[in-house]
Structure 1
Amino acid sequence: MDGSELAAQGLEQAQRLWEIAQGWLLSPAAWSQLGLLVVAYIFALLVARKLKPLATRLLTPPDMQDHAIAKMRRFVLIFVPLMLPLLAYGFTGIGESVTRSLFGSGAVIAFGKRVFLFLAVRILVREVIDDPLMKVLGRYILIPVAALYAIGLLEPAMLRLDETIVPLGNLSFSMLFAIRFVIVGGAIFWLGRWSNDQSTQFIKKQAEMRPAMRELIAKAIEIGIFGVAFLLLMNIMGISLTSLAVLTGVIGVGLGFGLQKIASNFISGVILLLEGQATVGDYVELDGGEAGTIIRMTARATILETYDGRWIVVPNEDFITTRVVNYSDSGSANRYEAPFSVSYDTDINKVPDIVEAAVAKHPGVLNEPFPPDCELRGFGESGVDFAVEIWVEGIDDGKNKFMSDVLFLIWNALKENGIEIPYPHRVIELKGAIETRSS
């Protein structure tokens, strides 16, 4: 169909709409229906003003509540802005049945119903939906569809889209099929993502489960939800799964050649989650020098956060094929030692008791597996060398500054007991006579 034919159809449709409008302007029944539309809207406006505050108050749960009923109340609460157009739509429907029984027609009031429905869709997209993907679909597909339905052009537009065939190699599909696929697919996968978020939050709250097991179950649920969503989309759109055999073969070849690293990282991630040797919250150090706290484990990589705020993305395969030091920042004690020296004039037999008692006062120092232990390490050039060994929960970095606190405690304890901390002394020998020059 060329441009002249489209223009002719547009003029014909516009002429038809103008004739309908003229008929409404000259019809007493049409004016009666228009009056009912106005009355229905005013009545809906009055009712909405009364019901909105009440509905908002009843549906708003306390801030501290986070159970299932509270979440459901918050979910229903976001649809309160739709109250006015939906009430107007309902009251107009009642008026339509009255006008059809009195006048035998209800074209004007039916048009008003469609307009109210269009307003509801517009509010839904602009004020209710906050998901970026669904907002785009609503703005560019749902609102135009509602507008065409309101003016009675939806069926001709759908027929035109159904007749527009898009060839794609040996395959072909209509524009209407493509639009339906996008709408249904977007809605299904949005629902799948919402379900996945809810299930993941529920799994993460199960404190009695190991972190690795929680991550594994969350990933399994995610794969299951989106797998079911894909199969459901194929079934709704009438696409036979056997027609995807060629695509599956292509994916298999891709995995064998170009995507083997991705497959390797995915399998390595599953092994990590099953074995639990490194999980979220652990502080790890790899052979390549990467070190940080694991904050997230994805299907492809593990994300480490350093204490200076940087994120390091490490492929899961590196955790399997290279040496990994796990300091177990979330639940395992680590040993550190703080070296210091005292003067040779000190009674060194008193030093261990003084230092151990001072260090033990630190709230982060543990008594298990061993309490603080001060040891004599040697006799240095300037003083007697000691070191105190401590066990702490965590890593001495970031939010934990164990060594700094321990050294302060040692310093203060030695000063309070009159023990001198030495510093290097140097003796300079001068040989021969020193010449002096008189002015």
Structure 2
Amino acid sequence: MQFDLSSQPEIVQQAYGYAVQGWELALSWLLSPAAWSQFALLVLAWLLAGVIARKLKPALHALIDPGEGENLFATPRRFILPYLALISPLLAYALTGIGEGIVRSLFDSGAVIAFGKRLFLFLAARALVRDIIKDSFLKLLGRYILLPIMAVYALGLLDVASAALTETIVGVGNIRFSLMTLVRGLIAGSLLFWLGQWSNTQTTALIAKNEEMRPSIRQLLIKTAEFSIFAIAFLLLMNIMGINLSALAVLGGAIGVGLGFGLQKIASNFISGVILLVEGQATVGDYVELDGGEQGKIVKMMARAAILETFDGRWIVVPNEDFITTRVVNYSDSGSANRYEAPFSVSYDTDINLVPSLIEAAVAKHPEVLDLPYPPDCELRGFGDNGIDFAVEFWVNGLDDGPNKYTSDVLFLIWNALKDAGIEIPYPQRVVEIKGGLPKVDT
């Protein structure tokens, strides 16, 4: 059946032409004894591969599976185990390849056999994506990139599609490339992105295990490795796409102008972050207080900013530049001790000469209170309205935060020591003088 499609778009005419060719090929296969024998060979190869796979899989699984043991080869063996799902289609491909030579010698034709081999490869790719790949990103690439490509290859149209994409040229500015280059760059870029992420994760874990390094140096090495990995990935991608890096000179100049004007803050924060990591003035795990009053523990340092976590669980994003250009108080730099004080008052009836030694001895019993750089020190602070004011200063390794209630514990010790010594902690009190005496009441 023929249709006149001369008035239709070219893509419709091409699709119709391919459909007609496919229909004629199918008819030729249906009416050809050679084609039927090749179909029979494909079915036989698939059934035989299934039988062999059912016998072979349990034996290979028992041989490869390391069980619960841990040794040098346990991880590679566990990695290989899921690939046993590919045995059946790959065996069918191999058996078909063996029979292909016989069929071609008898019938001087092997088109159906070639189609079957491509179909078995498609089934292997489908098993790979469905049963073996566990990473969500790789599974996504397999489902929407690998399987469509394998389907086109199985139909024998891969060369046609490749030629059409290669002939279609697009341009951006002074850069011109084909759609095939774009598709190749998309596939390669996706794989390089995943590989870069995986490499960065492994490198970060390896560097983080080295506790002999200063935390700031570890962070600097982690960031350096991250930028190096993705810079290499970018250069590889440009090479795969066939883009001359000199063609990006104009784009690089535009980026340079942007950094000089609109992106100068980002550049400043990036350089400040590098300075922080090199000097180690503030790093992950330090508790800091900024000039603006923000306080918290540094939980993450990024290229542009650091993240502080407060005691109430909030995250504060602080630009790296603030650590360089403003005053920063670091309460935990180099693991140094911190001094706190606990104020209290005693009654005016107290012999205040006994209080310092009593309180210092009581506070020194706390297991976290240090003798160095200074032991607990009780000082007289003044004579208040309600009592005599004292404060005890003490040093601890750590912060008086939610998990560490140093001041609260010390106040408990002070209370118990004063109670045991019979020293009164005064209530608020006032002396009221009524001039002229109290008014007389008539009875």
User: How many angstroms does 1:275 deviate by?
Assistant: 1.2
Choose from 132, 140, 144 the match for 2:144.
140
User: How many angstroms does 1:28 deviate by?
Assistant: 3.0
Counterpart of 1:391 in structure 2 is 395
One-letter amino acid of the counterpart of residue 122, structure 1: R
Choose from 30, 50, 75 the match for 2:39.
30
| Residues 97 and 117, structure 2, Cα contact 8 Å, conserved in 1 | no
User: How many angstroms does 1:19 deviate by?
Assistant: 2.7
Output aligned runs, 1:98-109, within 5 Å.
Answer: 98-104=98-104, 107-109=111-113
Distance change (3 Å), C-alpha of 1:20 and 1:255: farther
CA RMSD of the aligned region, Å?
A: 2.6
Number of equivalences: 429
One-letter amino acid of the counterpart of residue 409, structure 1: L
Output aligned runs, 1:110-149, within 5 Å.
Answer: 110-149=114-153
Structure-2 separation of matches of 1:143 and 1:24: 32
Distance change (3 Å), C-alpha of 1:200 and 1:122: same
Counterpart of 2:52 in structure 1 is 43
User: How many angstroms does 1:368 deviate by?
Assistant: 1.2
Output aligned runs, 1:16-415, within 5 Å.
Answer: 16-19=24-27, 21-22=29-30, 23=32, 27-52=36-61, 55=64, 57-58=65-66, 69=72, 73-74=74-75, 77-78=78-79, 80-85=81-86, 87-104=87-104, 107-328=111-332, 331-415=335-419
Structure-2 separation of matches of 1:39 and 1:48: 14
Distance change (3 Å), C-alpha of 1:24 and 1:222: farther
| Residues 366 and 390, structure 1, Cα contact 8 Å, conserved in 2 | yes
One-letter amino acid of the counterpart of residue 340, structure 1: F
User: How many angstroms does 1:136 deviate by?
Assistant: 3.4
Counterpart of 2:428 in structure 1 is 424
| Residues 358 and 417, structure 2, Cα contact 8 Å, conserved in 1 | yes
One-letter amino acid of the counterpart of residue 304, structure 2: R
Distance change (3 Å), C-alpha of 1:6 and 1:169: farther
Structure 1: tracts of 5 or more residues without a match = none
Structure-1 separation of matches of 2:314 and 2:29: 66
| Residues 234 and 241, structure 1, Cα contact 8 Å, conserved in 2 | yes
| Residues 302 and 313, structure 1, Cα contact 8 Å, conserved in 2 | yes
User: How many angstroms does 1:389 deviate by?
Assistant: 0.6
Structure-2 separation of matches of 1:126 and 1:115: 16
Counterpart of 2:3 in structure 1 is none
Structure-2 separation of matches of 1:101 and 1:224: 50
Distance change (3 Å), C-alpha of 1:25 and 1:347: farther
| Residues 92 and 112, structure 1, Cα contact 8 Å, conserved in 2 | no
User: How many angstroms does 1:426 deviate by?
Assistant: 2.5
One-letter amino acid of the counterpart of residue 81, structure 2: V
One-letter amino acid of the counterpart of residue 146, structure 1: M
Distance change (3 Å), C-alpha of 1:411 and 1:143: same
Distance change (3 Å), C-alpha of 1:3 and 1:49: same
SS at match of 1:339: strand
TM-score (norm 1): 0.89
One-letter amino acid of the counterpart of residue 248, structure 2: L
User: How many angstroms does 1:305 deviate by?
Assistant: 1.0
Structure-2 separation of matches of 1:26 and 1:128: 34
Structure-2 separation of matches of 1:215 and 1:407: 39
- Between stretches 429-438 and 4-13, larger displacement belongs to 429-438
| Residues 24 and 30, structure 1, Cα contact 8 Å, conserved in 2 | no
Structure-1 separation of matches of 2:85 and 2:177: 40
| Residues 330 and 394, structure 1, Cα contact 8 Å, conserved in 2 | no
Structure-1 separation of matches of 2:28 and 2:56: 33
One-letter amino acid of the counterpart of residue 8, structure 1: Y
| Residues 90 and 120, structure 2, Cα contact 8 Å, conserved in 1 | no
User: How many angstroms does 1:384 deviate by?
Assistant: 2.2
SS at match of 1:420: coil
| Residues 339 and 386, structure 1, Cα contact 8 Å, conserved in 2 | yes
Post-superposition Cα deviations, 1:180-236, rounded to whole Å, max 9, x if no partner, equal 001112212321221121111111111111111111111112222222222222223
| Residues 166 and 174, structure 1, Cα contact 8 Å, conserved in 2 | yes
Counterpart of 2:5 in structure 1 is none
| Residues 148 and 154, structure 1, Cα contact 8 Å, conserved in 2 | yes
User: How many angstroms does 1:46 deviate by?
Assistant: 3.7
Counterpart of 2:4 in structure 1 is none
Structure-2 separation of matches of 1:31 and 1:177: 40
TM-score (norm 2): 0.88
One-letter amino acid of the counterpart of residue 47, structure 2: V
Structure-2 separation of matches of 1:47 and 1:278: 59
**Once the two structures are aligned, what percentage of the paired residues are identical?**
57
Distance change (3 Å), C-alpha of 1:372 and 1:240: same
Counterpart of 1:2 in structure 2 is 10
Structure-1 separation of matches of 2:349 and 2:35: 117
Distance change (3 Å), C-alpha of 1:129 and 1:93: closer
One-letter amino acid of the counterpart of residue 7, structure 1: A
Structure 2: tracts of 5 or more residues without a match = 1-8
Structure-2 separation of matches of 1:29 and 1:125: 28
| Residues 255 and 263, structure 1, Cα contact 8 Å, conserved in 2 | yes
Structure 1: which 4+ aligned runs deviate by more than 6 Å? none
Structure-2 separation of matches of 1:95 and 1:135: 29
User: How many angstroms does 1:175 deviate by?
Assistant: 1.9
Post-superposition Cα deviations, 1:354-393, rounded to whole Å, max 9, x if no partner, equal 3222222222211111111122222323222221111011
Structure-2 separation of matches of 1:338 and 1:24: 100
Post-superposition Cα deviations, 1:284-343, rounded to whole Å, max 9, x if no partner, equal 111122211111111111111111111111111111111111112661111111011122
Structure-1 separation of matches of 2:66 and 2:184: 37
